[in-house]
Homo-oligomer: A and B are copies of this chain.
Amino acid sequence: MIKAGIYGATGYAGAELIRILSGHSEAEVYFATSRTHAGKNLNSIHPDAPNILLQDAEEVDLEQTDVVFLCLPSASGMPIVVDALEAGAKVIDLSADFRLNDANKYKDWYGTTHLAPDLLSEAVYGLSETNRSDLEDARLVANPGCYPTSFLLPIWPLISNNIFDNSRPIIVDSKSGVSGAGRSPKQHLHFVEVSGNFQPYKIGRVHRHVPEMEQQLLSWNSRFPELIFTPHLLPVPRGILSTIYLPVEPNTKEDDIRAICSKTYTNEPFVKLLPSSQNVSLAHVLHSNLCVFGLNLTGDTLIITSAIDNLVKGAAGQAVQNMNIVFGITETCGLK
């Protein structure tokens, strides 16, 4: 059994990770930490979680751990990453700390000096379907953000195959459930504020996921279009649906686009292209590791609708998928 340690087990991503690992036939939770709840059991925090003792991060035994998952706020886990790698564990970091490959850009967007800039070039971006061969040899996986996952998976075959017109921007209009904003109590996440409400935030190019998405686009195609991104807060507990407007060259055929996407994903267990007769919905993906997407060509604009569960394919599920790849076991293990 793979011994897995989870840092930050009481947040939404951490708790989801433990739920998934509890049903995983080749991995087990070796330790789980919580800064504020050390000494309690996880199911006293999340009633439906397994009964696992929460420990202080200082007390854990890294030497016996095969893999650690970090479900911590940005910047706070970097020293743990260094220690865990030194102790010989693989590391899957669900925070943003190792997603950008440039320490200056990290400082610009996250406001903190990176503490382990040497590791940035080694870290592998864990968008599983697009990066499998690098992941197989990875010691350190930077697990993708939730919005980027919903955007990058459907767009990858198209950007890689030059199916776009870079004279116009790509527009990503995303809607996320509230667990995407974390579990810490905040005024704008109070039930009364969210229920019956809906709103955009960080409009244009100011959300931290913009440089993460652009870095991937660039790695696939140097002439990618400008990116515009509008996230919205949806009054549901979980799920992201992104409506993507990709400009394409005149005379591009929907059938050709569909064929390219089908070819890429037809054998992928976790990415599914819907027929044109069906509309994507959050209900397609909740509590699953799926990314489901649809295509609709209107004039010279391809409208892509893409849905994931932000806590599964957008966080804990993809993290386990990456663990499976890193350890060479069946990729769907624990995720079906």
Residues of chain A at the chain B interface (Cβ within 8 Å): 12, 44, 46-48, 168-169, 171, 173, 175, 177-179, 183, 185-187, 189-201, 203-205, 226, 228, 230, 232, 234-239, 241, 243, 245, 247, 278-288, 292, 294, 296-299, 301, 303, 305
Contacts and interface: CB of A to CB of B under 8 A. Distances in A.
B192 A190 contact: no
Contacts of A303: 203-204, 228, 230
A205 B281 contact: no
* Copies of this subunit: 4
A191 B195 contact: yes
B179 A192 contact: yes
A212 B56 CA distance: 43
Contact of A191 (B232, B235, B299): B235
Given A191-B193, A196-B237, 8 more contacts: A171-B245, A183-B187, A185-B187, A191-B195, A195-B196, A196-B239, A199-B281, A287-B287
B280 A200 contact: yes
Contact of A243 (B230, B237, B296): B230
Contacts of A287: 48, 287
Contacts of A187: 183, 185
Given A198-B281, A203-B303, A230-B303, A48 B237 contact: no
